[in-house]
Every structure is written in structure tokens, then in C-alpha cells.
Structure 1
């Protein structure tokens, strides 16, 4: 018999649902052991699961709202005092409360809101917390038992190497990114090699032009000067002549004016001011004259330099037309880009070698983590198989043998470098086959229950919810499956939706989901059954609506 480790501390104590699907307003007080939920098909048992799914982060759907003019509210109270979740609250800037309240709201607009202890949170944060509080086993999960990803998840949860798995996935992503860069580099180098000669010619042509910022403006100014030497000389010479003529030049006249005003400057401030202004003008004009003379002396008729300047300008203009640009700065940018392409082609082997070294190093890092994952999984598998077969023996599969094959392969995958295959021999002397082919529906349900009963304690979840995990079984097997869930409930909170009286009788708390119609409006209600009503409910599950004396007697026997 498999002995469950004692970890039960936390649970869902209260669940209230308002304006959700067929539920108008329901508030449930949940016990900390084994709660059973029953009801006729279509009564709305799945509505409870839908509401609970909202609390752990499932996306909201406006069509789930009963009255579209009012908001839908689902609220759960969780005792988490010894669950070591304080760091989650600190990291997410939330108020920590020993009894934490999670609330989801769907507004008439269709917008969804989530709250933890009345603080608004994102759906992502809600999922992170919800995954540590409730495990909801849905009916389709039984079929997942034959899927490789689900099988890996089970063994990884048991191996408790989440940190290593996360690191591996990060390294694998880095490795794949580098491989993609290698492909892009090879394609780029192939293209660059094909265009190398042409690019080299273009670079040489631009480098030969010896371009620099501002050179075009300088050359155009020089060209204008050299191309107008005679006109410049003529006008500069005439200007200096008019300024410097000995008796009637501007400077001579202004000097005479200055001398005359100098005799008046002491008469008043006004005369002094006008004298100073003339004196200042004379100084400025003398300076201008010197500059004109300097410029005149600088000008030389140089046909050769004019030709060279013109050739340089034409070279720049031709390059601008060729490359369809308007400035030298654009040509310089183009030259820089072409030089990089040429350098890339010339240094292709070196660049390729550096990237390949990075890829190999990244591969080895991922490989080391993948091998570590393989070792911890392989180590955990025998213990898991032993526990599984002990539980399967308890629930009517004493001859079932489980084999988990795990082997190394060359290629990386999402899980590492492992290949895993779950095989089952359901009957004594039977051969091992793939588990999804070897097990019937009822056997899959029992195997799933065994898996969940082990995983629940490894994951240390306070609450686990089973949605008709008893599908495909009946009679004595159902009784034994109920015993497994009852044992689990001694250490954690178990909630089971069931259609089997043998399992329903095991519950310490029994909730019945039923529909009623008033004023042409159908509503789903939930009630906690008294001892007497439990007998009637079980009798109905056993023998139908009529509830015969034998069915009632059988129901009492089951409860006792």
C-alpha cells in the first residue's frame, strides 16, 4: 500500500459565484477534506469548474455572463498561512494575507479584471499564484496520458528539476538563435561574394575622390573666384583707388572731417559724440581698405588651378548622379557601407570561424544541462513506477505492469536529448504496448488517478479537483478509486465531481447541483446535502428517481 506523506495545511474555504452561466448567486463553504459534487447530466456541474478556472487565470468570456447588464463576480478564499508564498507577494508588490482572497470580474463591456486581496493584478500574475493553489483535472486530461509532452511533465515534476529545465530551454534558445545567425551570415557572405568585385570597384572610385565633409562647398567657392579673376581685380582695384586717392579719396576726406570736428569736441557732449563716431568710422574704413588691398594682392589668374578645381567638382557631380544622391555626406555614407561589405567578404572566413566557435560552446552548454535532465529523470523513474504499481494494485489493477523507456538521442528537443515511451502490460502475462493503445478508458482513468495522487503530493498543492475521473469504471473499482481519493483527502483538500454512488458515498461533504425553472427562467443551484438527503441522492444515483427500498438500503450501506 502506498503511504502518502502528510503535507495538508491549506485549502479553498469559500467560493462565491454571481451572475455566471446559469448561476445567479451561490456561496459555498468548503471543507478541508473530501467534497463530493453530484447532479444530473446537464445540471451545471461543469459551471463550477468554469468558475474555478477563472480564479486561476483562465481567460474570461462575455458569453459566460448570465445577465449581460450586470457584472459577473467569482471569488475564492484560500488559507495559505504555511505555504511559503510570502516571496510571491513581495516580488509582485502585493499585500500578503494568511487568508488570501482572489476575485475575477467580467464587466458588461466584456472587460475582465482580476484582484488578489483587492489589488488589481494581471492575468499572468493570477496564473502564477493559481497554479500553486489548485490543480483541476479535466476529463480530457486522461487522454493526455499517452502524449509525450504530458509524460515528460509528470516525470519532470517528480524529478523536481524545474530550475535546470528552465536553464536548458534558455540555452537551447540561445543555440538556435546562433544557428539562425550562421545561416544568415552564410547567405549574406554568399551574396557579398557575388557582388564583391563590383563593390570593390565602387569603393575604389569613391576613395579615389578623397571626399570629406564640406569639400563641395569649398571647391564651388574656389571655382567661382578663379573663374572671375578679371572682374574681381577690376572692382577691388577701383575700390581701393577711391578709398586711398591722395587728396579726394574717401579716407583723405574723412580724415579732414575728423580734424575739423576735433576742434569742436570740447564745446559740448554732442560735438564730442559726433567726433568719436567719425573717428570710429575712419578706423573701420581703414581696416576695410587694408582687407581690399589684401584680397586684391591674393588674386592671381591661374588657369591650371581652375582646370583642376573644375575637374574635381565634375568628379563629385558625376558620383552624385551615378549613386542618385545630392550631397557629399550621402556619398561618404555610401562609401562606408560599401567598405563594410567589402571587408565582410575579405574577412568572411574569420567571421564564420568566430560564430562557429560560439555555436559549439553554446551547444555544449545545452548538452550538459540536457544530460543532467536525463540523469535525474532516469533516477526518478523506478521509484515512480513502484509507487504507481502499488496504487494500481489498490484500485483493481494488481497485475498491471508499467514500463517507462528513456534513451538518449542526438538531436535536441524541447525536453532535452531524451526519448521517452510509456508502456503498459495491463494483464498478467500480457505484452507491453504503448499505454494509450494498451489501456481501456476505465484503465486510463485509474492510471490517471494514480499519477495525480502521486503528483499532487510532490507538487504540494493544497487543493485538487477531479472532474469525473471515474469515467469508464463502476462497482468495486469505483469503490477502490473512491478509497484512493479519500486517503488523499486525509492530507489535502480533494473535490470530486462524480456520477458514481460508490465514490459519492466516500465524501465528507456532499454538494448537489440541480436546475430549477421559475417564471420561465432556468437557474442552476447548489445545496449541501444533509445526511438524510445524501441517502436519497445516492439511492437516486443507484436506482433512479423512484428510489426503491432496496436502493435506499444500499445507499445507507454505502454511507456506513
Structure 2
């Protein structure tokens, strides 16, 4: 529960440092004294968005720090999950700089606003007047049932199943769209693949065909060149081979008398053999080369087919065409397998959907039991609050399909009159009635939720007299059993019930206005409550009345 609150340079507060105790405490003060400022500072601690305009004029930053005693609330798991050090005394701090930068700390360790908000929701519940509007919201009404039904485990399981069902729904929708798109392309893909397959391409053939085309195109020129070489080396009149043969014979004839001639003869013989082999190869190639217009047309036709496919598919090689052909095959396989994938995913979705429905039914059963409990408790709590003929009913319905919180719709129906028609509470309840209903709801769920601190901001608006006494009873009761309740009030009947009484006030000087808060002594409480009863002028009757209220 909240042990202390420190505020520095926030709005009209230069410096505030106040301690709080257990049980039921009250905060009073004139309108505009700064009570809402204190609540705003607490809101920042609980993760609300920061505004640099909140920094006191001229100050470089504002600091808000609160200390909570959490020893009795089994909150170690939060600190373990967020890798934070656990201490029985938890310190939340928020720093807001004039530059716009904001920092948050948990036990002096930097923390994200999400972490601060999650922790804050477990530490303190601030109920302001605008929260009475929550009664109009189905989500709040449903949450009331879940709190009383202790549905945490069932809701976590439901949400997990629901998230998986929605994920499968999205995946299935995407798959169907892809299937429709691909099936629309199927004829095109099949035609392209068929064209490539009919071409019967070979990765190496383009280079071979291009060489053959060159040879066939220049066949006469090639044959003439080969023939000329053959004649130069093996011709009967001026053949080089014949001359080399004669030269070899001459060297062999003199080798006995001239030793170097033997070595020269060996070299010439080797050259003769090589040249003779070359001439034979030239002759063989010459015989192979022929001018074949038919074959040239065939080769050119084949090359033109390859070139046209490359140009069509914007690639440079046959290898790329073959890779593209495999891609088309894979795409056709995907298209034909879409029906199987859709059927499989549909089965998975339907299985999870059935589990969602089953879990939703389990939630509905527990909520229906909780709804009857709400009706009974609300009637019991509201009768003493000046509603003797109260009728309160929880109407449950079913959605067309499961939602994030299940299949149930919930509406709180209300009538303060014996013969009145039950209608939605927001339609028929007055401001004072809504305040009493909301207080009763808070008191009811406070028993089911182990929340350390509850702050009521003028929840007593629109009530007075005996009803205010009854509301004070409820808040006093809520402040028992290791719970702390703080009420900001304008009603003396409620202010008198607090174990501790704090007053917020403003002081002006020549240059600035400051808001302060202080813990009132018994004598100061008498005067403060007397002022609340009679206004600015204290009367003996008001003082006596204040003493009587405090004594009671």
C-alpha cells in the first residue's frame, strides 16, 4: 500500500512530501487547491502520458516518487518476469524534463512505461468521477463478472486459443487469395513451361551451334584455306615435306664425316614427322568440311529459337532458361497443392474454433453464476444507500461469433423504483445514483481483488446526509483487511470517518502560488470539518457538530 508520496516542481507544487497510513484516509480542500494536481502526479507514476507543461514554471525537471509496502501481496513474479530486483518496499519514480524527455524507475532501476503501468495497476486503483462512465461500457461490466468469477485462468486459456484461431483465419484468407491469384496465372505459367519444355534445351548447345553456324557459313573459304596448306606442304611440285625428306637424306649422308649433321638430322626428322601429321589432319578436316545449306538452315533455326526465348524471358544464357523452366514447374506444383494446403489449414482452424467455442461456454457458465452473485450483492449494498426499491439485473446475451473476451454480451439493468421498468443503468440512473452504484461495484470487487490501495476522487458527488454516512461506512469497511482507501471528498460526513485526514491548500506570495498538503491534528480536523459544514465563518454550532461527527 502507499506509504509516502514525494512531488517536486509539478504544476503548482514546489515540493510536497507526505506519508500515508493503512485503513481509510480522507483528503479535503477547497476547489482549486490542488487535489487534482496530486491525482495527476499519481497518474504519471502509474504510466500516464507526460506533458512538459506540467513542469513548474522555471524548473528544469519535475520528480514524482512513491513508496509502497508490498510485502503482503505476493508480487515477486512481476519482478522476476521483468528482471527487476524485488524489495518488500517498492519505489516508483517518474522524472519529466523541460526538454520533453521522460524517465521512469522501479526500485531505482530504469523501467519502461509499460512496466510501470503494469505494476501500477497492481498497486493502486484511482477512481475519478469520469470513471463513473465506465458503467456504460460493456467491457467494464464483463470485467466485473470475471473478477467475481475468478476467471483469470480460463480467460488466459481462452485468449490464447482465440489468438491462434484468428491467426489461422488470417493465414487461411491469405492462402485463398494467393491460390486465386496463382490459379488465374495457371494457364500463362503452363503455356510458358510447355514452350520451354518443347524447346528441349541443352545447357551447352548454344555455343556448339554458334560455332557450327560459323563453319557452315564460311565452308568454301575454309576449304580453300585448308587446300592451300595441303598443297604447300604435300604438293608434288613444291611440297615442303618432299624438300624436308631430301634435306634429311643429305644430312644422313654426311653424318659419318661431320658429326653435327647427325644431330641436325634427328631434329629435322622430328619436324618432318610433326609436319606430316599436321598435313594429314588438314587433309582430313578438308574432307569433313562441306557446304550444306540445309544444315545451316537447321542450325540457324535452332539458334533463332534460343535467341527468341532468351529475348522473351530477358535472360542471356540457356542455363538461365533452364532455371526459369524449373521455377515454372515449382509454381505449377504450388498451384496444384493449394487445394491440399487450404483443406489442411481449414481443418486446423475448425479444430481450434471448436476449442474456442468450448472454452467460451466454460466462461459463460462461470459468468452466469457470477451474474447472480452481482445481482444479490448489488441489491444488498444499494438498499442502505437510499434505494429501498432497487432492482438490479445482469442481462447476458451471446455474440454472433466469439470476440476477444468470449461470446458473452453483458448489460447492467437498473431501476430505483418499485414499479419502474428495468433499463440500461446509464439511461435511467441519476448522477448520485450512478455514484452509489459505482461505489457498490468497487466495494464488491475489492473483496475479490487483492488491490493494496484504492483512491476515490469525489465519488460522493450528488449525495448528502444519511446517504453520505452510508457511503462512508462502505469506504471505511473497504479500508480494513490490509487495504488502504483514500477518499478525496467535499462531504463532512465522509471526512469525519477517516483514520487520517489530509488537507490540500494554496498559498500565494508576490511571485507565485504554491499548493501544499498536510496531515491534520485532531484540533485542526474539528475546524476543517466545521468549515465544511458552515462555510468560511466558523460557528459554535458547526464546531460542536464537527466534534459530534468525529466522535461518532
Give the corresponding residue for 2:533.
Answer: 542
| Equivalent-residue separation in structure 1 for 2:320 and 2:162 (angstroms) | 42
In structure 2, distance between residues paired with 1:486 and 1:296: 119
Cα shift at 1:356: 2.6
Q: Is the CA contact 1:236–1:296 (under 8 Å) kept in the aligned structure 2?
A: no
Aligned residues: 518
Specify the SS of the correspondent of 1:459: coil
1:274 counterpart residue number: none
Q: 1:43 to 1:316 in 2, by over 3 A?
A: farther
Deviation at 1:41?
A: 1.2
Distance 1:91 1:215 in 2: 65
Q: 1:217 to 1:61 in 2, by over 3 A?
A: farther
**Cα deviation, residue 20, structure 1:** 0.9
1:30 maps to 20
Name which of structure 1's ranges 37-46 and 320-329 shifts more when overlaid on structure 2.
320-329
1:530 is aligned to: 521
The answer for the alignment partner of 2:70 in structure 1 is 80
Distance in 2, matches of 1:526 and 1:95, equals: 32
Q: Please point out which of 113, 116, 125 is paired with 1:135.
A: 125
Structure 1 equivalent of residue 422 of structure 2: 432
Give the Å deviation of 1:314: 2.0
Aligned mates of 2:492, 2:316 — CA distance in 1: 88
Instruction: Indicate conservation of the 8 Å contact 1:514/1:525, yes or no.
Output: yes
The whole-number CA distance in structure 2 between the counterparts of 1:247 and 1:44 is 126
Q: Note if 1:466 corresponds to 2:456.
A: yes
Does the C-alpha gap of structure 1 residues 206 and 527 become closer, same or farther in structure 2, counting only changes over 3 Å? same
Structure 1 segment 152-171 matched on structure 2, within 5 A: 152-171=142-161
Q: Distance in 1 between matches of 2:281 and 2:465?
A: 123
> Residue 186 and residue 96 in structure 1: after superposition, are their counterparts in 2 closer, same or farther (change >3 A)?
closer
**Cα displacement (A) at 1:413:** 2.2
| SS in structure 2 of the partner of residue 81 of structure 1 | coil
Note if 1:394 corresponds to 2:421: no
Whether 1:501 aligns to 2:515 is no
For residues 455-498 of structure 1, what are the alpha-carbon distances to aligned partners after superposition, in whole Å with 9 as ceiling and x for unaligned? 22312011111111111111110111011101111221011111
Shift of residue 126 of structure 1?
A: 1.2
Q: For 2:137 and 2:202, how far apart are their aligned partners in 1?
A: 67
> In the TM superposition, what is the alpha-carbon distance from 1:195 to its structure 2 partner?
4.2
> Alpha carbons of 1:551 and 1:212: their partners in 2 closer, same or farther (altered >3 Å)?
farther
CA–CA separation in structure 2 for the residues paired with 1:164 and 1:219:
74
Cα distance change, pair 400–320 in 1 and its aligned pair in 2 (3 A): same
Point out the more displaced range, 164-173 or 519-528: 164-173
TM-score in terms of structure 2 length: 0.83
Q: 1: CA distance between counterparts of 2:52 and 2:532?
A: 34
* Partner SS state of residue 366, structure 1: helix
Match of 2:507 among 504, 509, 516: 516
**Following TM superposition, by how much is the alpha carbon of 1:307 offset from its aligned partner in structure 2, in angstroms?**
4.4
* 2:526 aligned counterpart, secondary structure: helix
Shift of 1:403: 1.0
Where does 1:278-357 land on structure 2 (aligned, <5 Å)? 307-326=297-316, 328=318, 331=321, 334-336=324-326, 338-339=328-329, 342-343=332-333, 346-347=336-337, 349-357=339-347
Specify whether residues 296 and 551 from structure 1 end up closer, same or farther in structure 2 by C-alpha distance, changes over 3 A only: farther
Name the counterpart of 1:3: none
In the aligned structure 2, how far is the partner of 1:529 from the partner of 1:29?
12
Alpha-carbon RMSD: 3.5
Map of 1:556 onto structure 2: 547
Deviation larger for 25-34 or 196-205: 196-205
Residue 108 (structure 1) shift:
2.2
Shift of 1:210: 3.7
Alignment partner, residue 45 of structure 2: 55
Give secondary structure in 2 for the equivalent of 1:59. Answer: coil
Residue of structure 2 equivalent to 1:260 = none
1:198 equivalent in alignment to 2:188: yes
Which protein shows a greater Rg? Answer: 2
From the superposition, tell whether residues 179 and 41 of structure 1 become closer, same or farther in structure 2 (CA, over 3 Å): same
> Which residue, out of 392, 413, 417, partners 2:407?
417
Conserved 8 A contact 1:20-1:64? yes
Residues 233, 296 of structure 1: 8 Å contact kept: no
Find the aligned partners of 2:451 and 2:90 in 1 and give their Cα distance: 15
Judged with a 3 Å threshold, the aligned counterparts in structure 2 of structure 1 residues 85 and 328 are, in CA distance, closer, same or farther, namely: farther
1:281-340 Cα shifts (integer Å, max 9, x gaps):
x9xxx9xx99x9699869765766654443333223212333445555664565455445
What is the CA–CA distance in structure 2 between the aligned matches of 1:444 and 1:370, rounded to whole Å? Answer: 30
Tell me the residue number matched to 1:444.
434
Specify the alignment match of 2:466 in structure 1. Answer: 476
- Checking the alignment, whether the CA contact within 8 Å between 1:442 and 1:471 is kept in structure 2 is yes
The TM-score, its normalising length taken from structure 1, stands at 0.82
Unaligned runs of 5+ in 1: 1-10, 257-262, 264-278
The residue number in structure 1 matching 2:359 is 369
1:37 to partner: Cα distance: 1.0
Structure-2 residue corresponding to 1:6? none
2:412–2:425 CA contact under 8 A, matched in 1? yes
Give ranges in structure 2 of 5+ residues lacking alignment.
234-239, 252-258, 260-266
CA distance in 2, matches of 1:341, 1:330: 16
Tell me whether 337-346 or 85-94 shows the greater mean CA deviation: 337-346
Which residue number corresponds to residue 487 of structure 1?
A: 477
Structure 1 contact 65–106 (Cα < 8 Å) conserved = yes
Q: 1:87 to 1:169 in 2, by over 3 A?
A: closer
Give the deviation of 1:214 after TM superposition: 6.5
- Per-residue CA shift, 1:330-363, capped at 9, x if unaligned? 6456545544554455455444433332332222
